[in-house]
Structure 1
Amino acid sequence: MSERPTVHRNQIAEARNVLGEVIARARFGGEPTVLINRGKEAAVIVSYEDYATLRELRDYLEELEAGERSSDKTNARVLREALDIAKRRALDSS
Structure 2
Amino acid sequence: MSERPTVHRAKIAEARNVLGEVIARARFASEPTILVNRGKEAAVIVSYADYATLRELRAYVEELEEGTTAEHAHKARILSEALALAKMRAFDDD
TM-score for the superposition, normalised by structure 1? 0.96
- Which residue matches 1:19? 19
- Which residue matches 1:52? 52
CA-to-aligned-CA distance 1:24-81 (integer Å, 9 cap, x gap):
0000010000111111111100000000000000000000000011111110011111
- Which residue matches 1:8? 8
CA distance in 2: counterparts of 1:55 and 1:11, whole angstroms: 25
CA distance in 1: counterparts of 2:29 and 2:91, whole angstroms: 22
Q: Structure 1 regions of 5+ residues with no counterpart?
A: none
Structure 1 segments of 4+ aligned residues over 3 angstroms from their partners = none
Identity %: 72
CA distance in 2: counterparts of 1:34 and 1:87, whole angstroms: 13
1:3 Cα deviation from its structure 2 partner: 0.2
Q: Structure 2 regions of 5+ residues with no counterpart?
A: none
Given residue 8 of structure 1, which amino acid in structure 2 is its aligned partner? H
- Which residue matches 1:73? 73
RMSD (CA atoms): 0.7
